[in-house]
């Protein structure tokens, strides 16, 4: 076994990881999509409805199905108690949980220095997905699922049944639940190639089947099983995080660099089929959508820590278990981040990024029921802060038809037929980013500029 790490090294490692987690988790409210999730949570608490005819938009074509209800309800309850600072602190809590689970995963197969190094690399790659909405909760539950599958593979044990209720909670939180199933499939397939016990493989398959069944037993019902695949085509084109992976995206480059580093290390150290399946899955995530770089890094970071440890300590078998002092050091570091997040939340929550808060008074003066041709990027914020206005589109793209989304996107670009679409909405106000081609066309049609702030304009139809 490897000797226990010096306390000074542990203290330095825990402090460094705490600082990195605080930087990633504490900050202004920067995710505009948080607001519609907040309204959804309040709607569920008030009505008890998980689905049904859309209650908010007359332009929707499909029923509203609240799939991410658990995180939305938690956020709504917290917001009712403490307001915007609660969202900042919940994001900080999510960051601490994700990093803690990632560290535990790395620590199983590497000593403190290498484990913390792997966790830091993983944190850098996933930091862009730590937001004040249910996605962070989904990412944390996915990390726990990954830890469970790795734990079973490393110890040549069958997957444990606690993954079934975990999948139910994950499915009630975010679409990332399906990624946990993908990890289970990849692990089981890799173990089969490693010639593990057929009984164990059969047990793993039963756990996976039961987990999928559990996801279909949330209040949303079996249709939840297909919801992760609903955003595509024109709808995906409006959502930045659904952009196809590109080499000009820094987080994609970090993920690909980590995967490449693991491959190079494996040339020297070798690996197993189940670990290779995890790396292949990480590559598949990275190459698909930019939003999947975070789950990819949670897969790749432990593989990097383990291969580094095997390269640096080729003659040593096993890894020393954390002693009580090490556990206390990292626990204190986590508590320090949470306390700092709580202390800074009131001040950081006053800073709303990517949101035209200076237009709030102007929007509040618009008569109730007015149709507003809104920019997609502010739809979530307006959906919460201006609930009496009728928005042409909002962040819940799944409730709108593909034809409507395509026509809306075409109008934003002032494409052929944009006048017909804008006219069909009966919009008499518009809230648009100032650089949208549609703005110039509306001004040429006589629309008047009422207010401008934060890169957005409020326009009013003449007459």
Q: Which residues lie closer than 8 Å to 404 by C-beta, 6 or more apart?
A: 59, 61, 393
What are the structural domain ranges in the chain?
7-30+67-344, 357-460
Q: Give residue 2's pLDDT.
A: 40
Query: Is 427 strand, coil or helix?
Result: coil
**Stated length of the chain:** 463
Q: Give residue 237's pLDDT.
A: 58
Q: Give residue 436's pLDDT.
A: 96
Q: Give residue 245's pLDDT.
A: 65
Tokens representing residue 95 in the block: 């960051």
Q: Give residue 232's pLDDT.
A: 52
- Digit-by-digit pLDDT tens for the chain (463 residues) are 344 458 889 999 999 999 999 999 998 988 888 999 999 999 999 999 999 999 999 999 999 999 999 999 999 999 999 999 999 999 999 999 999 999 999 999 999 999 999 999 999 999 988 999 899 999 999 999 999 999 989 887 777 899 999 999 999 999 999 999 999 999 999 999 987 777 788 889 999 999 999 999 999 999 888 876 665 555 555 655 556 667 778 888 999 999 999 999 999 888 999 999 999 999 999 998 878 999 999 999 999 999 999 998 877 777 888 888 899 999 999 999 999 999 999 999 888 877 899 999 999 999 999 999 999 999 999 999 999 999 999 988 889 998 999 999 999 999 999 999 999 999 999 999 999 999 999 999 999 999 999 999 999 999 7
Q: Give residue 164's pLDDT.
A: 96
Query: Phi and psi of 431, rounded to 5°?
Result: -125, 105
Q: Give residue 1's pLDDT.
A: 39
Q: Give residue 101's pLDDT.
A: 97
Q: Give residue 308's pLDDT.
A: 94
Query: Other C-beta atoms within 10 Å of 93: how many?
Result: 20
Q: How far apart are CA 412 and CA 405, in angstroms?
A: 11
């Amino acid at each position: 076994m490897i000797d226990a790490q010096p306390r000074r090294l542990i203290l330095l490692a825990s402090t460094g990881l705490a600082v990195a987690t605080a930087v990633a988790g504490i900050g202004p409210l920067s995710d505009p999509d948080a607001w519609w999730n907040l309204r959804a949570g309040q709607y569920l608490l008030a009505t008890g409805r998980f689905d049904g005819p859309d209650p908010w938009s007359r332009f929707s074509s499909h029923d509203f199905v609240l799939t991410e209800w658990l995180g939305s309800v938690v956020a709504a309850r917290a917001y009712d108690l403490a307001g915007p600072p609660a969202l900042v602190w919940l994001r900080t809590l999510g960051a601490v949980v994700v990093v803690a689970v990632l560290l535990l995963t790395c620590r199983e197969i590497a000593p403190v220095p290498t484990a913390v190094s792997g966790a830091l690399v993983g944190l850098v790659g996933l930091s862009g997905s730590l937001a004040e909405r249910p996605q962070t909760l989904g990412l944390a539950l996915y990390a726990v699922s990954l830890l469970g599958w790795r734990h079973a593979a490393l110890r040549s044990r069958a997957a444990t049944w606690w993954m079934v209720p975990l999948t139910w909670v994950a499915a009630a939180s975010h679409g990332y639940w399906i990624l946990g199933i993908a990890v289970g499939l990849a692990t089981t397939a890799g173990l089969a190639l490693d010639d593990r016990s057929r009984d164990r493989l059969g047990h793993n398959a039963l756990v996976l089947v039961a987990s999928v069944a559990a996801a279909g037993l949330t209040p949303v019902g079996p249709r939840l099983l297909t919801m992760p695949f609903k955003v595509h085509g024109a709808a995906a084109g409006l959502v930045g995080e659904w952009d196809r992976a590109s080499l000009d995206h820094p987080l994609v480059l970090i993920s690909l660099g980590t995967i490449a580093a693991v491959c190079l290390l494996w040339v020297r150290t070798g690996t197993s089929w189940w670990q290779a399946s995890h790396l292949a899955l990480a590559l598949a995530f990275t190459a698909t959508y930019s939003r999947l770089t975070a789950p990819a890094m949670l897969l790749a970071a432990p593989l990097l820590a383990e291969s580094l440890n095997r390269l640096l300590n080729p003659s040593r078998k096993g890894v020393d278990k954390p002693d009580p002092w090490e556990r206390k050091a990292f626990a204190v570091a986590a508590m320090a981040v949470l306390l700092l997040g709580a202390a800074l939340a009131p001040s950081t929550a006053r800073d709303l990024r990517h949101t035209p808060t200076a237009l709030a008074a102007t929007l509040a003066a618009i008569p109730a029921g007015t149709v507003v041709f809104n920019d997609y990027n502010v739809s979530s914020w307006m959906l919460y802060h201006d609930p009496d206005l009728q928005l042409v589109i909002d962040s819940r793209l799944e409730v709108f038809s593909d034809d409507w989304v395509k026509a809306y996107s075409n109008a934003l670009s002032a494409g052929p037929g944009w006048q017909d679409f804008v006219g069909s909405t009966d919009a008499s106000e518009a809230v648009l980013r100032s650089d949208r081609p549609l703005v110039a066309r509306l001004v040429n049609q006589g629309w008047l500029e009422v207010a401008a702030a934060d890169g957005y304009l409020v326009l009013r139809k003449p007459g």
